[in-house]
Chains A and B, each alone.
Chain A
Amino acid sequence: MTAIAHPSGHHEEHYPGGLLRWLTTTNHKDIGTMYMTFALVMFFVGGLMILAVRAELFQPGLQLMQPEFFNQLIGVHALVMIFAALMPAATGFANWMIPLMIGAPDMALPRLNNWGFWLLPPAAILLTLPFMLALFGIGDGAIATGWTFYAPLSVQGGMGIDFAILAVHILGISSIMGSINIIVTIFNMRAPGMTMMKLPLFAWGWLITAFLLIATLPVLAGAVTMLLTDRHFGTHFFNAAGGGDPILFQHLFWFFGHPEVYILLLPVWGLMPHVISAFSRKPTYGYTAQVYSFIAIGLLSVVVWAHHFFTAGMPVPALIYFMFSTMSISIPLAVLFFCWIATMWRGAMTFETPMLFAVGFIVLFGIAGLTGLVLADVAADAQYHHSYFVVAHFHYALFAGGIMGVMTGVYYWLPKWTGHMYSEKLGKLHFWLTVVAFNLTFIPQFFLGLAGMPRRIPDYALQFAEFNAISTVGAFILGLSQLLFAWNIWACVRGGPKAEARAWEGADGLEWELPSPPPHHSWETPPVIR
């Protein structure tokens, strides 16, 4: 390993500087950086939207906005967080880390990679543009149906829906291109000796994610295209009066929508073992079991979609099938939890920020998993469904599971990316504020749901007032504490103590064999795989 020669970056002189560098770059690290930056910016955009919503919900009565605007904010918040923050963050990780971790010089298709990223900003603009247009009296604002586009409400809505349909198409194309690139890179660019069963778990997690994206995004694109033709070209896919079926839309949407949850989470489950193993100073427990669990979750995720609309009414056998298939996901998921904890067991742990986030992730994501198990039950689901119980549940999955997972990875690899160590003190403060504020925000929402508060309402009955007030206070602390995160990253990019090639004592993996930051071309000569 020590004999790796890094021919000085004589290519670098040919790269344009300034803005043009970023516009035309085909380098996986540059593109990865752009994805991460974009995700961080959109994370704050989506966060601002939901803070406005929480402010409105602080007290009963309409204080800050009218219901129409409220409905727009909740839907665009979800679309932004899912498609423009979490998914790009995961793709950013993939671009930065997969070539480093599998010993490849770059992604297999660098120009496709560049295109995949540059589709994102126009899509984000399309998604939020209707807000601006409405300010100038054009149209009636952004999509107001929630992120689910349910027909026929979306057939009835204004032009914000057309914008969202277009944005989703572009975001989908971008994701599919990114996925294709990741699949072919993993298949064809591995260093000699890097067999599939030696592949880092992060790459495995992303491989399954990429296949899920390719299998399900076309279905979403198809569904929203049908919606578009229903809206403007007189078709009746979802109109019962014309022989269509509104529930067909829900089937199509959730055939994409449920795997989407795992699309957001599999990259995180992939990076988690690396972090836990590094800070436990102990090799990953149950590598093979985790690989097969990823595959099993991927396969199960495409056959459970209808548990998202049990209350729409379906035959009893269908209800029972979707309930049990959903419950079965708990088995491979429990394997992952078992392996994470077994990796810690009898290790030599220290708790730097990435490890804190990893532990926080495991506990809080555990709550998401357990409440998910309960939600799978059709009879109880009738009470939970469409209520704040579900809202709390999926924020435990997507904030504590998704976003805190991404933060784990960011803190873990930031020294590798920037060559500097971030402020450990700020990182820990960020962690504790995030965890406390997150629970302050969402634990009350479980109780609100049980008490009978429906989701997506701009105003509520008086018995929900106290919990809503607490939740809003929590949300504002949560939102503000993320400024620490942004500041910590910024400071780390600008300077800080020099990071070693192996920034963490117990870190294992090819990425730590390269200097921090790595040279412009990662592995020009292949590493030797042990």
Chain B
Amino acid sequence: MDNAFSPEDLARRRSRSARLAWLIGGAVLFLYVAGFFLQR
């Protein structure tokens, strides 16, 4: 990869990271909220 860490490449990596971060964050929030409806 010749253009590794070029501004475009970094922007691409960052937006991919942000998407994944929101996904994980959403999963965490879901786990947290779902817990309250857990019946034992």
Contacts and interface: CB of A to CB of B under 8 A. Distances in A.
Asked if A and B form a direct contact in the complex, defined as CB atoms under 8 angstroms apart, the reply is yes
Contacts of B14: 108-109, 188
A39 interface: no
A108 B11 CA distance: 10
Contacts of A248: 40
Interface string A135-152: 000000000000000000
B5 A218 contact: no
A188 B5 contact: no
A184 B32 contact: no
Contacts, number: 70
B28 A218 contact: yes
A183 B31 contact: no
Contacts of A189: 13, 17
Interface residues of B, number: 21
A184 B20 contact: yes
B15 to A, nearest CB: 9
Given A108-B17, A184-B21, A214 B32 contact: no
Contact of B1 (A105, A184, A192, A524): A192
A28 B24 CA distance: 21
Contacts of B16: 184, 188
Contacts of B18: 108-109, 184
Interface residues on A, range: 20 to 34
A323 interface: no
Interface string B1-30: 100110000100110111011001101110
Nearest to B6: A525
Given A188-B16, A214-B27, A245-B40, A105 B32 contact: no
A222 interface: yes
A105 B31 contact: no
Contact of A109 (B10, B21, B27, B35): B21
A180 interface: yes
Contact of A188 (B4, B20, B24, B29): B20
Given A109-B21, A184-B18, A222-B31, 10 more contacts: A109-B14, A109-B18, A176-B25, A180-B25, A184-B16, A187-B17, A191-B5, A214-B27, A214-B28, A226-B36
Interface of A: 105, 108-109, 112, 176, 180-181, 183-185, 187-189, 191-192, 214-215, 217-219, 221-222, 225-226, 245, 248, 252, 523-526
Closest 10 CB pairs of A and B: A108-B17, A222-B35, A184-B17, A218-B32, A218-B31, A192-B1, A526-B4, A188-B17, A192-B4, A188-B13
5 contacts: A180-B24, A183-B20, A191-B5, A218-B35, A222-B36
